[in-house]
Structure 1
C-alpha cells in the first residue's frame, strides 16, 4: 500500500472514530464515552496489515474505486479491533501490543475509582464485550456507506457477515479445543481448522476478496485468492503460536508465558503430545503460577523433541504453497507481486522475532 493510501486509511479510521463518539446524540451517556474511548485507544498503533492487503489487492487488480477501498479498509481495521478486544475477554489477556488490553485498562480504571478486584475485572470484561459490539456495528455501517455501486456493497456486506459467522464459530471451537485433552489424536486437525476460521478467514481471505470485489474481479480470481488466503492465514497463525511460546516479548508485545500458563492447545503442543517429551512437558502446562525457569524448561523440551522445527516447517510450507498457487495462477503480475510482498513480510516477521534458543542444562536452574 502506498504512503498516500496509508494516510488515507488512517484518516478514514480517525473519521469513523470521531463519528462514533457522537452516536448517543444529545444524551449525556458517560459510559458510552468510556467504551468508545477505550475502543478508539485500542485501534491506535496497529500495523494496518489488513487494510493494506485490501487496498493493495484492489490496486493490483486494476480497481478504480480508491475511495471505497480506503473506506472498506478502515472498516476492516475496526472489525479487527472488535475481534481483538473480545478475544482478550475470552482468553483473559490483560496485555496487547505491549500495553494493557482494553479489558485490562478499563479494569484498572475501575480499581482507581474504588472498585474491588473482582468487580473491576467484571467491569473490564463487560467493557471488552460491549466495545467489541460497538466496533462491529461501526464496521458494518462503514461498509454499507462506502462509495461503491449498490450491488458491490451488497456483496461486501454478505462477505463481512459470513466472515463474522465463521470467525465466531472458530472462536467457540477454539474454546472447546482448549478444554479437551492435548494428546487427543484429533487435536492437530482441530487446531488447524481453528486457525483457518479464526485467522485465515478474516485476516487474509476477507481483505483479499473485498479488494477483489471492489475491482470487479472474476469468480476464478476470487477462488484463487480464497485458496491463497487460507494458506497464508494458517501459516501466519502457526508462526503466531510459535511467537506465543518462543517470541521476544519486547519485540512482539505478547507474553511468552501466557500460552504455557493457559496450556493452550496449539499445533505445537499437539505435535509434542506425540513425542517422548510429553510426560514431562504435560506437567508444565496449564499452571497459572508457572515461572520463568519452568518456562525455559518447557521451551527446551519443545525444541529438543522436534516440535518447534516441525511447526516452523509446517508454517513455511503453507506460506510457500500460497506463493506457488499465486505463481501458477493467471493472476495479474501486479497481484502476484503484492502477494509475494505479503508472504515475505510474514517470513521476515517470523525470522526477526523467533531467535533459535539452545537447550539449557539443568545446572542453570531448570527443574530436573
Structure 2
C-alpha cells in the first residue's frame, strides 16, 4: 500500500517541479525583458530629446517666434512615457532581442508615438480651454504669459493663444511622421507603421469629436465607454502595441491579439483615470479632483450616477456638476452622491473586469515573456493612485 502510494505521488511531484521550474524560467525571462525595455527606453529618450533640440535649433534659424513655439512644445513632452514603453515592450517581446541593435529601429518610432501623444494633449487642452498641464503652463499658457503684459485686447490675446496651441499640435503631428521616417528599419514595415499612426489619429479625432459634442447632451445620454474606446484606448493602448509588433515582424494573429490587449487596457486606464479625477489624491496623481466636475466631463462614472441616484441625488448633481466656480464643499456633495448611488462601486467593478479581460488576453494569447510583462503593466495602470 505504501509502495503504491509512493508511486502515485512521484508523477505528481515531478509535475509540480516542472511547473515550478517553468514559472521560475518565465519570471527570469520577464525580468530580462523588463531590463531590456528600460535600456531601450533610455535610448528612446535620447532620440526624443535630440530630435526636439534639433527642431528648436532649426526653427531658430527661421524666426524667433518659431523657435519659441517649438521650445514651448518641447517643454510639454515627457512624463511617464507609457505609450512608447508599450511599443518598445511589444517590439522586444516579439523579436526576443536584448542588444543595442534592437534599440536602433524602435527608438525613433517609440519617440514618434510620444510626440503624437503630445500633439493630442496640446489640441485637447485647446478644446478644453486648459492652459496648465502637469502643473506647468502648456503651449497656450506659455504664450499667454508672454503676451499678457503687452496691453493687447482680450480678443487679440485669445486669438494668439489659440493659434499657438493649434499650430503646435500640428507641428507635433507632422514631426511624429518625420521621426518614423528616420528609423533604420524595413521600409515595408515603416510604411505599415505610418498607416497605423494615421488610422490612430483618425480614430482619436472621432473620439474627441464625440467627447466635445457630448457636452450638448445630458450625461445620461452620452456613451462614455465608446468615447473612451475611440479617444483613449485606440492610441494609448492598441496602437503602441500593434506598432511595436508590426515593426518586429509579428504575424497577423499576434498583432490582432496585442491590439485586443491594448484596447481593454486603454478602456480600463480611462475608467481608472476618470475615477482619480474625482476621488484621487492630487499629491499622488498630480491630477485635480475639481476640474472634471467643473467641466461636467461626460464620464461613465457620471452617467451611472444619474442612472442610479434618486431624484434628490440627481438634483444635487444638476446643481453642482458643470459649475466653473465649483468649490471643494460642492465637490464633496457630488462625491457623496456618486458613492451613495452605487455608481462608484459599479464603475470600479467595471474597471476591475475590463482590466481582468486585458490580463486574460495577455496570458492566453501573448507568448512569454511579453504576456507576463503586459500583465504587470495592466496591474500597475489600473490599480494606480488607490
Which TM-score applies when normalising by structure 2? Answer: 0.85
**Paired residue for 2:274, among 213, 216, 241?**
241
Cα drift, residue 124 of structure 1: 2.1
Corresponding residue of 1:182:
219
Would you say the 8 A contact 2:285–2:385 is kept in 1?
no
Q: In structure 2, how many angstroms separate the alpha carbons of the residues matched to 1:341 and 1:285?
A: 35
Corresponding residue of 1:195:
228
Q: Deviations over 1:269-305 (max 9, x none)?
A: 1101112121221211111111111111111111111
Q: Deviations over 1:185-237 (max 9, x none)?
A: xx2xx211110111111111111001101110110011111111111100000
Matches within 5 A, 1:8-19: 8-19=43-54
Corresponding residue of 1:153:
190
Corresponding residue of 2:374:
339
Q: In structure 2, how many angstroms separate the alpha carbons of the residues matched to 1:167 and 1:339?
A: 23
C-alpha distance 304-89 of structure 1, shift in aligned 2 (>3 A)? same
Would you say the 8 A contact 1:319–1:343 is kept in 2?
yes
Corresponding residue of 1:290:
326
Corresponding residue of 2:19:
none
Corresponding residue of 2:159:
122
C-alpha distance 253-123 of structure 1, shift in aligned 2 (>3 A)? farther
Q: In structure 1, how many angstroms separate the alpha carbons of the residues matched to 2:83 and 2:133?
A: 18
Q: In structure 1, how many angstroms separate the alpha carbons of the residues matched to 2:307 and 2:61?
A: 61
Corresponding residue of 2:171:
134
SS of equivalent residue, structure 1 residue 333: coil
Corresponding residue of 2:68:
34
Cα drift, residue 63 of structure 1: 5.2
Cα drift, residue 246 of structure 1: 1.5
Q: Deviations over 1:33-92 (max 9, x none)?
A: 111010010014x11111111111111112554311111111111111111011000011
C-alpha distance 245-25 of structure 1, shift in aligned 2 (>3 A)? closer
Corresponding residue of 1:361:
none
Matches within 5 A, 1:80-99: 80-99=117-136
RMSD between superposed Cα atoms in Å:
1.6
Matches within 5 A, 1:17-96: 17-24=52-59, 26-27=61-62, 29-44=63-78, 46-62=79-95, 64=97, 65-96=102-133
* Structure 1 stretches of 4+ moved >6 Å: none
Task: Tell me the matched-pair count.
Answer: 344
Larger Rg: 2
Q: In structure 2, how many angstroms separate the alpha carbons of the residues matched to 1:24 and 1:272?
A: 49
SS of equivalent residue, structure 2 residue 184: coil
C-alpha distance 55-130 of structure 1, shift in aligned 2 (>3 A)? same
Q: In structure 2, how many angstroms separate the alpha carbons of the residues matched to 1:198 and 1:50?
A: 14
C-alpha distance 245-116 of structure 1, shift in aligned 2 (>3 A)? farther
Q: In structure 2, how many angstroms separate the alpha carbons of the residues matched to 1:279 and 1:51?
A: 43
C-alpha distance 282-164 of structure 1, shift in aligned 2 (>3 A)? same
SS of equivalent residue, structure 1 residue 183: helix
Q: In structure 2, how many angstroms separate the alpha carbons of the residues matched to 1:343 and 1:324?
A: 10
Higher relative helix content: 2
Q: In structure 2, how many angstroms separate the alpha carbons of the residues matched to 1:348 and 1:302?
A: 20
Which TM-score applies when normalising by structure 1? Answer: 0.89
Corresponding residue of 1:272:
305
**Paired residue for 1:167, among 204, 210, 231?**
204
Q: In structure 2, how many angstroms separate the alpha carbons of the residues matched to 1:300 and 1:98?
A: 27
Q: In structure 2, how many angstroms separate the alpha carbons of the residues matched to 1:87 and 1:169?
A: 13
Q: In structure 2, how many angstroms separate the alpha carbons of the residues matched to 1:59 and 1:260?
A: 40
Q: Which runs of 5+ in 1 are unaligned?
A: 352-368
